[in-house]
Chains A and B, each alone.
Chain A
Amino acid sequence: MNADILVELTYLLSAILFVVGLKRLQSPATARGGNALASFAMLLAIIATLVDTDILGWTGILGGVALGGIIGGIAARKVEMTSMPEMVGIFNAFGGGASALVAVAEFLNSPTVGMSTAGVSMLLGTVIGGLTFTGSFVAFAKLKGLITGNPITFPGQNATNGVLVLGTLALGAMTLGVFGGQDPATLFYIFCGLSLLLGVLMVIPIGGADMPVVISLLNSYSGLAASAAGFVIGNMVLIISGALVGASGLILTQLMCKGMNRSLANVVFGGFGGTAGVDRAQIGKRPVMRADAEAVAAELGYVNSVVVVPGYGLAVAQAQHELRKVGDLLEERGVDVKYAIHPVAGRMPGHMNVLLAEADVSYEKLYDLDEINDDFAKTDAVLIVGANDVVNPAARDPQSVIAGMPILDVDKARRVIVMKRSLSPGFAGIDNDLFYSDKTLMFFGDAKNSMSDLVREVRELA
């Protein structure tokens, strides 16, 4: 058989295995095998490329692979599960950056490409990859706390961004010689700079708790950038894989927006959240019922059913292992323990599930919002750990800023226990009536310390 055909068939097999690998992610039982299959597909594609390309020098290629492999391998081993959103953010940056560099290199190789399929693909790859690169870095910095998690806004921000987008488009057209013969290479460098700037400006106005949307969206972009790079070098497996990732990111983006009852435009342009404009003096003035670990243990240990609602505070305090111990002890006492997970709990889709899986909580005990909401009315006690907006009944009030957001109906349970550091508001910046309800007990403190105390107290129950 002709070597070219063999290479093409290997690419095709690789594309098929990517789809099959993703399909196996439909169940936790087959997911690990699916991931292995996808990584095998990647290996096949790389081998096909190495065979297909007349490689002039191996040093750079092997050096790059070795360096990247070491960095990636160490990062993947060391990262804490609580830091997964940052990790995915930074990996996104690298993926987008790599696609952008491919497009940049191909453009500089033939700067007079002009208005053609190749030219347009190169510029698209550059702009999408470039803004994914810087946007992901900003998201990473926000998640890591290197810069403020609150929205960074300035007057006329959306207008500025709009002008910048139009400017980038116009510059792109000029680079391809649409308006006559300027020096394409110089124009292209400015185009690159604008692409990088767009990524920064796109992410800075978006606040911390909207990060699940941003991370998903950037994930989608990193796929689209890879597809664009595929059009540049005329490689189908890049186009296909990029399209798969683009679709995946877009689906997650939609789910996250639905989880907050907000449109994508509202998340991206809204500058929502942060507590800067809220009169904090009015929040937390009403009396609450406090409880200590002993009282909470008694509330949880002598009932039939407990539902735990984890939030970002659980991740911050790294209290997932202590939480699992509490769950185990309660189950030993015959209590039915379930975990209710809101779609946007945490800082990325599925963040809480990974934390609980790390703590060895069986995935069969994790329920999403639709599965569990009808159960709260039959639940004896709800234990909320570091969550706020996702259980705020204000979402049922049409006047509220979070009106219409799907919430966990914890206030239908017989007893609600809220483990939280203080009465400070969540990301939406509003007070939570749940805390002042006559069925709610506030268990103040750092989630990890509180949870350790709770482990001890549940153990001591008769």
Chain B
Amino acid sequence: MGELMIGLYVFVLAALAGREVITKVPPTLHTPLMSGANAISGIAIVGAIVVAGRAEGTTQMVLGVAAITMATVNVIGGFMVTDRMLSMFRKR
């Protein structure tokens, strides 16, 4: 099986797992879900590190560092703001 097909299997199965897990998130947590998922999409930082780390030319370096910066905003900002929100959900 080629790398593409393995990737597709992984993608589809992960999406199905995500669907099962996320359908059960109650509406009251939909905003934190969204910002938390958003932070997870900052996983692009992994790709950005690969690009910037291997860069030999200026173009690659500039694109890689720009990608790292944007992805880090997404990751740090996303997880922190989600934590801030979730700390407010209390039972009294």
* Chain A interface (Cβ < 8 Å from any Cβ of B): 15, 18-19, 21-23, 25-29, 31-32, 34-36, 38-39, 42, 45-46, 49-50, 53-57, 60-61, 63-65, 67-69, 71-73, 75-77, 79, 81, 84, 87-88, 91-92, 94-99, 101-102, 104-106, 108-109, 117, 215-216, 219, 222-223, 225-227, 229-249, 251-252, 255, 341, 343, 348-351, 353-354, 357-358, 360, 362-364, 366, 368
Contact = CB atoms under 8 A, between A and B. Distances in A.
A75 B77 CA distance: 7
Interface in B27-60: 27-56, 59-60
Contact of A31 (B24, B32, B43, B63): B32
A94 B74 contact: yes
A72 B18 contact: no
Interface of B: 2-4, 7, 10-12, 14-19, 21-56, 59-61, 63-92
A346 to B, nearest CB: 9
A364 B91 contact: yes
Given A42-B42, A243-B11, A246-B18, 6 more contacts: A29-B91, A96-B41, A233-B46, A350-B27, A350-B30, A364-B91
Contacts of A25: 22, 25, 29, 32-33, 36
27 contacts: A19-B17, A21-B36, A25-B32, A29-B91, A38-B36, A39-B39, A39-B83, A56-B54, A72-B72, A76-B80, A84-B81, A91-B78, A92-B41, A95-B41, A98-B47, A98-B48, A105-B51, A105-B55, A105-B63, A219-B37, A239-B7, A243-B15, A247-B16, A249-B34, A255-B27, A343-B27, A353-B31
Contacts of A49: 46, 49-50
A237 B91 CA distance: 35
Contact of A237 (B42, B43, B66): B43
- B40, B61, B92: most-surrounded residue (chain A CB, <10 A): B40
A29 B90 CA distance: 8
A54 B34 contact: no
Given A25-B36, A49-B46, A35 B15 contact: no
A236 B77 CA distance: 24
A61 B68 CA distance: 7
Contact of A57 (B45, B55, B78): B55
B18 A19 contact: yes
A357 B82 contact: no
B13 to A, nearest CB: 8
Contacts of A91: 35, 38-39, 73-74, 77-78
A95 to B, nearest CB: 4
Contacts of A251: 19, 22-23
A102 B51 contact: yes
Given A42-B42, A46-B49, A84-B35, A94 B70 contact: yes
Contacts of A26: 21, 24-26
A45 B48 CA distance: 12
Contacts of A55: 53-54
B22 A247 contact: yes
Contact of B77 (A73, A108, A360): A73
A36 to B, nearest CB: 7
A28 B86 CA distance: 7
Given A55-B53, A94-B73, A247 B48 contact: no
A200 B22 CA distance: 29
Given A23-B21, A349-B30, A64 B36 contact: no
Contacts of A18: 40
Contact of B74 (A21, A72, A101, A232): A72
Given A32-B86, A42-B75, A95-B38, A353 B44 contact: no
